[in-house]
Every structure is written in structure tokens, then in C-alpha cells.
Chain A
Amino acid sequence: MERKVTVTVNGTRHEIGNVEPRLLLSDFLRDTLGLTGTHVGCEHGVCGACTVLMNGDSVRSCLTLAVQADGAEITTVEGLGSPEQLNELQRQFREHHGLQCGFCTPGMLMTGEDLLRKYPLASDDEIREGLSGNLCRCTGYQNIVAAIRAAAALRQEKTP
């Protein structure tokens, strides 16, 4: 029972026929659309590597069916910036060395984007609480927290 999925990803509209209902959004993005920036780690909602924005909210793409994204707007890490023109949060990750191997980074960035929009992030505790659903196995989190702290401070300056 295959279905057609119409979805806008990073501003580009895609119409894909023959989508099996059991196809996960993470695999749809990576295998069907070729957007491999979204990483797949645990595939049961624990590691956060596959986090994307769906209609503006961060979601685990491994816990979402592709058919459920029909009609939705998705933003993946490819939609944030480009290697030539990083977005603000990406710039802070580079500035503060917020990544080493980079595996968790797409999920950290997409979670960070949603956190910056929804919470004051006034303390490190709040930042750590916000990042608690994303696992990193190499930086020890310190630099990721520093990058988000810096992005939150910049946001503060811009919205008086």
C-alpha cells in the first residue's frame, strides 16, 4: 500500500510516489532525497543525531514515518547554511570547537535552533537540560554548551 508524499525540504518541493508507509523520515531524507546531512545513530529516539525541524519544531526523524511528513515543511542541516556561508549557530560551533568527529553535529544544531527559539537559555544548566536528548561521544559537551551559550548571547543582543 504505497502512498504519494509531497513535502517541502529546505525550501524545495518534492513529490515522491511509491513511498512505503514503514519508511522512516530519516531514511526518506537520506536515501530517497539524498540528503545525508541528517545522521542516523540509534534509530529508536535516544541519541538525537537524526533531529530535523518539521513545521518549525525539532523532531526525531527516526521516530516519524515519511508518510506523516506529507504536506509538511522540513528543515535539515543542509538548510541552515553552506560551507561558504555558515549560519550563526554553525559559526559558533566552529568558533568554540563544538565538534570533533561531527557525527552528532547535525542533531545538535537542529536541537540548538529549536532551543534558541523556545527557551531563554539564561544558564548553562538550562542549556545542558535542553541538550540532554542529544548524545556526543567525543567533545565532552563543554564546547557544544559554549557554542550555544554564545549563540544565545548574540540573540539577546539582536532582540533588545
Chain B
Amino acid sequence: MKPARFDYVAPTTLGAAVEALAATNGDGKVLAGGQSLLPLLNFRMVRPSVIIDLNGIKELSFIEARSDRVVIGALTRHREIEQSSVIASKLPLMSAAMRHVAHLAIRNRGTIGGSLSHADPAAELPMLAVLYDATIVAEGTSGRRRIAAEEFFVDALTNSLAQDEIVVDVEFPIPQQDGWAFEEVARRFGDFALASLAVLVKRGASTLEQARVAAMGVGDTPLRLRTVEHEVAEMRIDDSLPNRFSELVMASVSPNSDLHASGEYRRQLLGALARRAIITALGAR
């Protein structure tokens, strides 16, 4: 047996799951797709006394377009997001990014609520939540709470959920910007990114009217590069723009060195991805 001993409950309603989690007084773990939790259990890096399995709560699995936003239930699998025609038409950048989320067998099980809660700083969905100004809706014993994505990711592998809270769904406002690009480099396709960058742009006749820029793999949380966004707003589109954009992006991050890459390499990599991304995003689409 790889994991340490635990009790297992599989509630069929959200209310029962919240109660079961609250009853553990912080010693319980919520199991969604299990693609991050099971490795931690197998290594015995976490030893919860109780596992609360959400997979029987069918109401948590859906993708819905609601006027100005797309709402995704916490238990929706990565593979369902990858395949969704709603996501492809309303949030095409997300659709393109999903093929980079791990490998097929992981995407078949992994969920959006699980990925956001795990809060890996090099995972795609947390970065997309920050890019799209998503709202994460969580339920606890004292009711529902709406959390802005940038407030949700506190540190590497650390979110701002209370002990008794479970992510219920995630709201993605449909952006005004219609140009987009997603760029990522990983050592092996599907692995966690060494660096990745996503941009959404609104293009005027001769200027880049406004842009949203998010990066990952270069900080302890996914980053929204707001200083870059501010600097490039209304910038004239000419041959020098990609390099200027790339330099602004590089100046805005200070990645740490680790086993996989030095901080300076990551910064240079992000700069190269930024140049590529802004050219793609400004192209006819």
C-alpha cells in the first residue's frame, strides 16, 4: 500500500461534502480528479485522516455560456474543456491551451476545480484564470464566496480557500479582446511548463489598443503582467513592437533558478515566447 491509511466518504450532494470536510477540522482532503492528490498520497507527502471524494456530485460537472461569461463546474474534466464547442467559440485561447495540460490519461481524469485548488505555479488553468479575470466560487459551512483569481493564488501550491471550503464553479468573463496567442515551452510535451505566456489583444487601425498578459513558470503564482499591459496600451504597431513588448515582459519578471532551469534562462525564454505571442495575436484572426 502506497498511501497511509485514511477513511473515505463519497457524498452525492455538495452540502454533504462541505459538512464532511468541515467535520475533519482541517485534517481532510477533497478528491476530485486525483491527478495531483494521488501522487502526494503515494509519496505520503500528505496524510489526511479522511478523503472526501467529489466524483459522485454530478451537479459540479458542466460548461455553460451565460450572456457575458462562461461558467465551468469544478468537477469538469480537462478533456471536456478541450473538446467543448462552447469553449472553442467563446474562449478560443483556453481551447488551444488545453492540449498542453498534461497527457490524455491525465486530462481524462483531472478537473478544473482540482487544478485551481492545487495552485501549481506552472499549470495552465491557474494562469488562464488570472488572464481572464475569472471568479472562483467556493462553498463552505457559512455559505458561498466569490474569489477573484488573483486573490485565489497566494503562493506556490497555496490557495486562499478556508479549511471548510470547496470550489464549486469558475466564471470566465468573455473578453473584449479578439486577438490571442498562447505559447509554452516544456521539457517534454504535456509536462509542467518551464515558461509560458498568454496574451489577449484588441487591435485598432494602427495601434495595439489594449492587451492582457499572463505568464507562468516564472513566479510562485501565475502572474498577470499589469505593468506591461499599461505600457503597451495604445502603442503604435510597427516592426519594433514585438521587441519592445518582449523587453517589457522580461523586465517585469524575476524568476528563480531551480533544478530544471536557471532564472536567467527562464527570463530569456519568456522574452522569446512574448515576441512570438504578440506577433501571432496581432495577426489577422
Contacts and interface: CB of A to CB of B under 8 A. Distances in A.
Interface residues of A, number: 33
B38 interface: yes
A27 B2 CA distance: 10
Interface in B1-54: 1-8, 10, 31, 34-35, 38-39, 41-43, 51, 53
A45 B35 CA distance: 8
Interface of A: 1, 3, 20-24, 27, 43-45, 48, 51, 57-60, 62-65, 67-68, 111, 114-115, 118, 128-130, 132-134
Nearest to A22: B3
Interface residues of B, number: 33
Given A51-B105, A63-B109, A133-B190, A21 B6 contact: yes
A114 B6 contact: no
Contacts of A130: 104
**Helix, strand, loop or mixed for chain A's interface?**
mixed
B108 interface: yes
A114 B104 contact: yes
B128 to A, nearest CB: 20
Interface in B155-209: 188-191
B103 A48 contact: yes
A138 B51 CA distance: 38
Interface of B: 1-8, 10, 31, 34-35, 38-39, 41-43, 51, 53, 55, 79, 99, 102-106, 108-109, 188-191
Nearest to A24: B2
Contacts of A128: 189
B46 to A, nearest CB: 12
A22 B1 contact: yes
Contact of B42 (A43, A51, A59): A43
